[in-house]
Structure 1
Amino acid sequence: MSEPTNPSVVLAGGGTAGHISPLLAIARALDEAQPGVSIVAVGTAAGMETRMVPEAGYRLETIERVPMPRRPSIDLIKLPVRLLRAVRQALRIIDAASADVVVGVGGYVSTPLYLAAWLRRVPVVIHEANARPGLANRLGSRIAKTVAVAFRGTGLPDEQWVGMPMRKEISTLDRTSARAAARERLGLDPQLPTLIVTGGSSGAASINRAVAEAAAGFGTDGSGVQVLHITGRDKQVTGPDGRLLTRPGYRQIEFVDGMENVYAAADLLLARAGAATVCEVAAVGLPAILVPLPHGNGEQRRNAAELVAAGGAVLVEDARLSGSWLTAEALPLTRDTARLARMSAAAAPLGVRDADARMAGLILDAAGVRP
């Protein structure tokens, strides 16, 4: 084991940005809290972590992906062998790192690391990003020393509410002072009420369709609202003539590098209710219309529930979202400065800006490091 003043931390998680972004925020907070800390991230060879982790300056080790089948299949028959192989790979990583603590943020890669840590008697710290925990963290919570959550009431044992670790560019954002520069970067009018719509980096077909329907009236409805539509990578919205849809007061782009610019530029955001989005809009006080995914296990609806109940966001079902709904509800709300101010204030008690530092403290405590 390493000296307590120079702890070794293994961070497990990958596959999607929803797992990798908080993992990297935790890593940066550990660097700040404990200079000299040794950090190794663990993912799979096929996930986004193969790009994001090295770009952030951290070492990445990979293990085999072990999906957990939810119904009888050939993958279920192969599961024991795959899991055993992945646990052996995880043991080698933990041993090579002389790990003092293993931290998991969920996903396929976390379960083998949790099991390997248990075999080596290395303490486990878990962060659960969603209001409805995933299978890996439900299993891992049974052996974890510390269970931290982004949303209260997940049902995990002895959970501690810390919020969602996020990039400093977002957690330290002052929307008012950053607004003018952000709108200039995004090609927006600095004065007009601004609605920004996004379905995430991959886009959302139902959201794109609704905006396309509403766009027919943009610039002719007298709303005085400008709309920035982030369509998703390799996604475009076309008009009846098959060309890229353009309207006065409407602009579409496929992707924005740096969501802090979106949060600063928008008076109102329409987006899916992913865990990171819900936590980030609460932290920065941005009023939002949240459209939960209509499939899956209902986690996005649960992610949004507390913020909606507090009055910080409006929830609309995916099936109800349409061009006429946007015209009747979203555009007027974008102009309603008094209501937007109330929504922003309502989000404040739920917004956590120092979740990364809170997590770093819990991890160092588990590793036996005292301030």
Structure 2
Amino acid sequence: MNQPAVVFAGGGTAGHVNPLLSTVAALKNTGLEFVPLVLGTKEGLESELVPAAGLEFLTIPRLPMPRRPSPDLVRLPVRLRRTVKDLEELFAERGVKALVGFGGYVSTPAYMAARRLKIPFLVHEQNARPGMANKLGARWANTVALTFPGTPLKALHGKTEVTGLPLRPEILDLAARLGDSEARVLARAAAAEFFGLDAGRPTVLVTGGSLGALFLNQTLPSALLKVSETVPDLQVVHLTGKGKAAEVSDFVTESGLGDRYKVLDYLTEMHHALALADAVVCRAGAATVAENSALGIPALYVPLPVGNGEQALNARGVVEASGAFLLNQKKADPTAVAESVAAMLDPERNAAMRASAAVAGTTRGAANLAELIKEVL
């Protein structure tokens, strides 16, 4: 008997591709025999990550929704109909039995094709504020899965469940080690050795993601200089984003912060930074919030002040649970940031925030989603 084919649609950034790949792995771990087909575009990061994971990769044209009247907007309906028709033929030819969509450009035509063929499908919404593709998909989906409890998205005719975000395997591995007191000590010691720092000193991680965050790079060095006045043994790991380390490094040198302020533009071994961190200062993307919470790391979230405001909403749950702080960028001057960081480093407050963050987060996002997929099948 042929194994059922399951399509996983999504891509664009690592924040969308990684949950997709984690879900495929979790579904395999259930013992289900199936053929995974990953649908994406040639332009997205999925074109690199999916083949590297050993999965079959299928592409469609990128179909962005133009924000203003333009020739692309006029051509969109024709291009969308053509892509949906091509997917109908592909799904029928490959014997697709279910679709799992993660939103974005790729998911819209996939949802439409699955609906026309009466193929059951599941929608996973990563952010606290749903995107257009998943709003459309939720009208027809058998199941809608959410990362955050407060997300205003429900299956019109199916069921809706909060699963959490499917996390990367390295984050799950680190969470398991941090949950064991002996393994936690070993992980922290290894991380300190990696950076040339002291495992016994309070450590702050600053990160704006792979691209960095100019505001954090400009604000945090001054703020952490203030913190070091009351926490003299403070250590910092600051990830600036590729090619953006020079200005921060110059400030560290001029301010005499010394060798205990490590400046890196990019870090492949992110698990070391998270294992050593007593607190994190960062943006509030869905993956960042989900990972910090699952690891039980207190965080100061400074949401990106553009887009539709989803970053602030992503952090709302863990902030309300007292596992993190939220600071609007307009109010995030060095003094305000320093006050929040100093509070997170207080030993008693830090322990309480760790426990609260862990309760707000989950490491079972991929496993929960895999069970829902099995139900759909």
TM-score by length of 2: 0.90
Aligned-partner Cα distance in 2 for 1:280–1:159: 22
Match of 2:188 in 1: 179
Q: What's the counterpart of residue 357 of structure 2?
A: 347
Cα deviation per residue 1:33-57 (whole Å; 9 max; x = unaligned)? 1353210101001000011111112
**In the alignment, does 2:220 pair up with 1:203?**
no
Matched with 1:159 is: 160
1:285-344 deviations in Å (ceiling 9; x for gaps): 1111111111110101111111101100001111222333333431x2353111011111
Read off the aligned partner of 1:36 and give its amino acid letter: E
Asked if 1:14 is matched to 2:15, the reply is no
Unaligned stretches of 5+ in structure 1?
A: none
User: 5 Å matches for 1:71-150?
Assistant: 71-150=68-147
Question: CA, structure 1 residues 187+85, in 2 after alignment: closer, same or farther (shift >3 Å)?
Answer: farther
CA distance in 2, matches of 1:324, 1:237: 23
Shift of the 324–243 alpha-carbon distance from structure 1 to 2, 3 Å rule, reads closer
CA contact (8 A) 1:146 1:159 kept: yes
Given the superposition, is the C-alpha separation of residues 66 and 271 from structure 1 closer, same or farther in structure 2, using an over 3 Å criterion? same
For the residue of structure 2 that corresponds to 1:103, the secondary structure is strand
Distance in structure 1 (CA, Å) of the matches to 2:368 and 2:340 = 38
Distance 1:159 1:48, change over 3 A: same
User: For 1:48 and 1:240, how far apart are their aligned partners in 2?
Assistant: 30
Displacement of 1:220 after TM fit?
6.6
Alignment partners' CA distance in 2, 1:333 and 1:60: 47
- Contact 2:223 / 2:337 at 8 angstroms: preserved in 1? yes
Residue aligning to 1:274: 285
CA–CA distance in structure 2, aligned partners of residues 263 and 219 of structure 1: 20
Distance 1:242 1:302 in 2: 33
Structure-2 separation of matches of 1:149 and 1:239: 37
Shift of 1:81: 1.5
- Residue 120 of structure 1: how far off its partner (Å): 1.2
CA pair 7-338 structure 1, distance change in 2 beyond 3 A? same
8 Å contact from structure 1 (residues 197, 228) kept in 2: yes
Cα separation, partners in 2 of 1:240 and 1:265, compared to 1, 3 Å? closer
Alignment of structure 1 residues 1-371 onto 2, 5 Å: 3=2, 6-157=3-154, 158-172=159-173, 173=175, 174-175=177-178, 176-177=184-185, 178-214=187-223, 223-238=232-247, 247-248=257-258, 249-330=260-341, 332-367=342-377
Separation (CA, whole Å) in 2 of partners of 1:247 and 1:74? 54
Code of the aligned partner of 1:76: L
Q: 1:271–1:133: structure 2 CA closer, same or farther, 3 Å change rule?
A: same
Q: Deviations over 1:158-179 (max 9, x none)?
A: 4210101012321242322422
Mapped partners of 2:84, 2:190: distance in 1: 48
What's the CA shift for 1:244? 7.8
Q: Does the aligned pair in 2 maintain the 1:13–1:20 contact within 8 Å?
A: yes
Q: Which has the higher helix share?
A: 2
Distance in 2 of aligned mates of 1:44 and 1:98:
21
Report deviation, 1:216.
5.8
Judged with a 3 Å threshold, the aligned counterparts in structure 2 of structure 1 residues 135 and 241 are, in CA distance, closer, same or farther, namely closer
CA distance in 2, matches of 1:7, 1:262: 40
1:277, distance to aligned residue in structure 2 (A): 1.0
What is the CA–CA distance in structure 1 between the aligned matches of 2:252 and 2:188, rounded to whole Å?
Answer: 31
CA RMSD of aligned residues (A): 2.2
CA distance in 2, matches of 1:350, 1:221: 30
**Distance in 2 between the 1:136 and 1:19 partners?**
13
Using the alignment, how far apart are the partners of 1:58 and 1:259 within structure 2?
Answer: 24
What is the CA–CA distance in structure 2 between the aligned matches of 1:150 and 1:309, rounded to whole Å?
Answer: 16
Q: 1:365 to 1:219 in 2, by over 3 A?
A: closer
Counterparts of 1:300 and 1:43, CA distance in 2: 24
Q: CA–CA distance in 2 between the matches of 1:298 and 1:51?
A: 29
Segments of 5+ residues of structure 2 without an aligned counterpart are 179-183
For 2:150, give the aligned amino acid: G
Single out whichever of 216-225 and 16-25 deviates more from structure 2: 216-225
Cα contact 1:193–1:224 (8 A) shared by 2: yes
Q: Find the aligned partners of 1:67 and 1:153 in 2 and give their Cα distance.
A: 27
Q: Deviations over 1:187-211 (max 9, x none)?
A: 3322210000001110011011012
Q: How many residues align?
A: 363
Deviation for aligned residue 1:273: 0.6
> Secondary structure of 1:67's partner?
coil
Evaluate the alpha carbon distance shift between residue 227 and residue 61 of structure 1 in structure 2; reply closer, same or farther with a 3 A threshold: same
